[in-house]
Chain A
Amino acid sequence: MSELTVLNTPETTTQGDGVSHDGKSWFYTDVVKEHFFSPQNIFKTNDEAVAYEKTADGIGLVGSPACGDGMKMFIKIDKETEKVSDIKWQTYGCGTAIASTSAYSVMLTENGGKTIDEALAVKPKDIADYLGGIPARKFHCSVLADKAFNEAINDYFRKTGQEQRIKVGSAKVIDKILKITDHDIEHAVLEGAHTFEAVQKKTKVGVHDKECIPVVNKLIEQYKEKYFGED
């Protein structure tokens, strides 16, 4: 048995009753906890995962154990309606990653399922809203599900001969010396670096290539606005 739902779940799940090691409340909402303790659309056994993988219409994998994040998503698509008929997922991630992916899988498949275009329009912010909010510094965890789903859809397009529909976000080199891209900066902002100094600490951007600093500052503001709605 490998069902997460067999574990004890707390009866009282008031907002913010979890406390992290640094003494700060997790501020996980009831919905987050519900999805964390009883994740939806997961495999019950490893055999089930192996069997499902063979029948999935698309598979997407993002992240790696070394970077501390990992998400694999398996999708089934109704060819007629282009609706997402089923999703299964696996994650190497924290409570927020587990909860947000579970919620995301429900959002895309409930009420008969969203169409591919509708599903692609679901943004990390929508997942956060569905969960009733997640801590700002955990926001990047919810982005994984969205990225893995995009990969899975691209895989589906590839398998069904619709290469023209594949969307690949191409990275643009910002720091010409260290070859740091806008994706690296986006990732740093999602991981909680909200000032130039913090982004530089994570990425080393602008250490040698001083000319890129104004562009980096502009990007940081853009990504903050995009993900967190900050000025």
Chain B
Amino acid sequence: MTEHNVYMDNSATTRMLPEVKTEMDKYLCDLYGNPGSFHSIGLVIKEALKDARQRTATLLNARPNEIIFTGGGTESINMAIKGLAYKYEGKKKHIITTTMEHHAVLETCEYLETKGFEVTYLKVDHHGMVDPQAVKEAIREDTFLVSIMYANNEVGTVQPIAEIGAICKEKGVKFHTDACQASGYLSLDTTALNVDLFTLNGSKVYGPKGVGLLYVKTGTVLEPLIHGGGQENNRRSGTENIPGIMAFAKALEIAQAHKAEEVPRLSALRDKFIKGVLNTIPKTILNGHPTERLPNNVNVSFLDIEGEAILLYLDAQGVYASSGSACTSKTLDPSHVILAMGVPYEFAHGSIRFSLGNETTEADVDYVLSILPKIIENLRAISPFNLDMKDIEAKHPHIMQQAGGALQ
């Protein structure tokens, strides 16, 4: 087996940091109490939770009572969208989102459509950008929520959240953003971002899985989805996941503290990676935005071949990435994100995402760049197709111009 172990799937999940694990361990066997208990064992935990909530709120420029800890990003998103929808039921019924959101948003919206709500799915441009003006124009009298992700999980495009938030504020519509992918790299200042609802999770910031948070701005009221003992100020019942919450708070703090050096470091590796791929492998395009993208996201498409086969060969050589190919999805449809940007199907099936992380080194990038051309060449050798870039450029001039011009 290969001696290489290059994990480039940090947008799927991250490896927990040792100091985060130490923090988590403390609350498993030693400090095991229930913060709802009256006795000393519980009170210690109540204080710890209060402290974690305060520290988290500080990172988000928010008040402690605006933070609800949840069971992860998907739960936070469900809580934000359904919780608000149930509150507005019978009064307002329109939601605005985009075609390239995470499934947690799209599926929740589709579910609400079956219950009588109406949803506008805004189109994005070829770089995956939402036009704030289009958001403004889509807002109706009966619109109660706009939900647009901060940074896309597949292609890394970063949206003008503060600008969209300002429009929502002006129109009196609540604004939710799914910031799961942004937590280690972008500003989490909820006030400056003009958001009412803000989703984060632990698994993307070198923290634990199964824990997340929803920031709910004072004045925004949600119908709770989980009823029970009234924890989290009656907004999310169930005994708090203390080890998870303590570790999550720690992980967020570390990620934000390292942001200043990690962002330029990863951006440089990302750009080297993208340039290396585009320069050494013919008939390849970059998916997403050339500059407004997450520092850790590389997403490229190779013509004439299918993504899953590329992943399997990478895996055999110790490189772990992911694909928007139809064959790796449960529905066998290519990535809805890649298609939402108008990328031709011929490219959608051959897309590969490499998401870098805190352990990624320049040597890792060099290694991938050294093995990738051969894998692509070999798979192209057994492909019955040999499409001409010029034909595709002629068929999709705008997309190809933008894609081809990326970082060159």
Q: Does B111 contact A (CB under 8 A)?
A: no
Q: Chain A contacts of B2 at CB under 8 A?
A: 8, 10
Least CB separation from A12: chain B residue: B1
Question: How many Å from the CB of B55 to the closest CB on chain A?
Answer: 30
A92 touches B304 (CB 8 A): yes
Question: How many Å from the CB of A122 to the closest CB on chain B?
Answer: 21
Give Cα A169–Cα B28 distance, bound, in whole angstroms: 63
A2 touches B377 (CB 8 A): yes
A95 touches B312 (CB 8 A): yes
Most A-side CB within 10 Å, residue of B315, B346, B382, B383: B382
Interface residues of A in 173-231 (CB under 8 A from B): 191-192, 202
Least CB separation from B12: chain A residue: A21
Q: Does A70 contact B (CB under 8 A)?
A: yes
Name B326's contact: one of A22, A68, A95, A98 (CB within 8 Å): A68
Give Cα A22–Cα B383 distance, bound, in whole angstroms: 26
Q: Does A16 contact B (CB under 8 A)?
A: no
Least CB separation from B332: chain A residue: A191
Q: Given A22-B330, A37-B316, A191-B332, check contact A2 B378 (CB 8 Å).
A: yes
Q: Does A96 contact B (CB under 8 A)?
A: yes
Name A18's contact: one of B315, B322, B349 (CB within 8 Å): B315
Q: Given A65-B349, A137-B332, check contact A94 B313 (CB 8 Å).
A: no
Q: Chain B contacts of A21 at CB under 8 A?
A: 9, 12, 311, 321-323, 328
B384 touches A92 (CB 8 A): yes
Least CB separation from A4: chain B residue: B378
- Interface segment, A39-47, A125-133, A154-162? A39-47
A48-92 near B? 1/0 per residue, CB < 8 Å: 000000000000010011111011100000000000000001111
Number of interface residues of B (CB under 8 A): 46
Q: Does B284 contact A (CB under 8 A)?
A: no
Q: Does B124 contact A (CB under 8 A)?
A: no
Interface residues of A in 1-43 (CB under 8 A from B): 2-4, 6-12, 18, 20-23, 36-37, 39, 42-43
B306 touches A92 (CB 8 A): yes
Least CB separation from B303: chain A residue: A65
A91-125 near B? 1/0 per residue, CB < 8 Å: 11111111000000000000000000000000000
Q: Does A145 contact B (CB under 8 A)?
A: no
A138 touches B327 (CB 8 A): yes
Question: How many Å from the CB of B93 to the closest CB on chain A?
Answer: 23
Name A10's contact: one of B303, B316, B332 (CB within 8 Å): B316
B378 touches A7 (CB 8 A): yes
Most A-side CB within 10 Å, residue of B308, B325, B332, B384: B384
Name B384's contact: one of A66, A70, A98, A191 (CB within 8 Å): A70
Chain A residues proximal to chain B, CB less than 8 Å: 2-4, 6-12, 18, 20-23, 36-37, 39, 42-43, 45-46, 61, 64-68, 70-72, 89-98, 137-138, 140-141, 191-192, 202
A-B contact pairs, 15 of them (CB 8 A): A4-B382, A6-B378, A7-B317, A21-B323, A23-B12, A37-B316, A65-B345, A65-B387, A68-B327, A68-B349, A90-B383, A91-B382, A91-B383, A94-B328, A98-B309
